[in-house]
Amino acid sequence: MHERSQQAFIAAELYYMQGQTMDAIAEHLGISRPSVSRLLKTAREEGIVRISLNDKYRAQDSLSQRISDQYRVRARVVETTARMTPLTRMDKVARIAAEVFDSYINDGTIAGIAWGSTVSEVAKHLHKRPVADVTVVQLNGAGNARHTGIPYSGTILGSVAEAYGAKMVHFPVPAFFDFAATKDAMWQERSVAGVLSVQRKADVALFGIGAFGGAIPSHVYSGGYFDSEELATIRAQGVVGDMCTLLLRDDGSYADLEINARATGPTPAELVKIPRRVCAVSGNHRVKALKGALNTGAITDVIMDSQLAKLLVES
């Protein structure tokens, strides 16, 4: 396998860097032209060669431009149709979000990951490539009274870490504490403070937007984190969804919500200290929550499906 990787490197160097034809490379290596094609495919799959486009030259469609201008973000609207299933729409968004997120991963990068249904799909579309000294840190706790949340959040974190051969830093706290005082005390513990320190050093963050209902429910509202009484209370307070399990209203306000004093995800004020904040979102039911998240100013890059984008500009 090592010898094949070396051959793939030579073929890629000759093809991409020196501009040689496949026939010339085949003659140079003493192999057939189809074998050269397979070596180039191996080079792409193993991350020996990485092909990227400079996104600043991409012509923005009118929806992307309107959203970019209104919210001061880099908006990517993924073309979808109303006939597509919610899962197909999410998958198309996740594929593009994976490309955007990957473009920010370099040697030494610290990447903050907030678990969620959309981020889970994004992680599946990350291609393995060799990067040195990358750290993947969990941004929000995952446990509740019914389960630890570790299998769910760990799978997402593990998928991202596997793509880059990265070190994983878990965040072993619940998504929401029962008491704000408990959270304040835990934040002083060295084990937790150490994770918070890594989070604050993150170069890029990846997260989705949670919202009530929908064909693909947001995990925070379907995974036992709130009982029916708590859900009724937060909805009566104007909550429309969450970003990194920090609850939001559609105007972007959040600071006066009591439950956020118990939430373990980063606040928008903390998120903005991370240079790149990539948000992937799909599904019409998330429009109010997305609007609230954009109104916080905590997003730098947003990738969404075109049906959701149309609802956003009309809202």
End-to-end alpha carbon distance in the chain: 54
146 — pLDDT class (breaks 50, 70, 90): low
Q: Which residues pair with 280 in a beta bridge?
A: 303
User: Containing H/E element for 68?
Assistant: helix 62-71
Judged by average pLDDT, the poorest of 92-96, 150-154, 176-180 is 150-154
Structure letter (DSSP) for residue 14 = I
pLDDT (tens digit per residue) in 47-83? 888 777 666 655 567 899 999 999 999 999 999 998 9
| pTM, to two decimals | 0.82
CA dist 71 to 205, 301, 311, Å? 18, 10, 15
DSSP state of 226: S
Q: Taking a C-beta distance cutoff of 8 angstroms, is the pair 239, 257 a contact?
A: yes
Q: Where in the chain is the domain with CATH 1.10.10?
A: 2-45
Residue 7: count of CB within 10 angstroms of its CB: 17
Residue type, 87: L
What phi, psi does 97 have (nearest 5°)? Answer: -60, -35
CATH node for 2-45: 1.10.10
Q: How confident is the model at residue 251 (pLDDT cuts 50, 70, 90)?
A: very high
At residue 8, the 3 state secondary structure works out as helix
pLDDT digits (tens, 9 = 90+) for 270-298: 999 999 999 999 999 999 999 999 999 99
- What is d(CA 111, CA 256) in angstroms, rounded to the nearest whole number? 29
> 55-314 maps to which CATH number?
3.40.50.1360
List, by residue range, all CATH 3.40.50.1360 domains of the chain: 55-314
CA torsion sign, 10 to 15 to 19 to 20?
Answer: positive
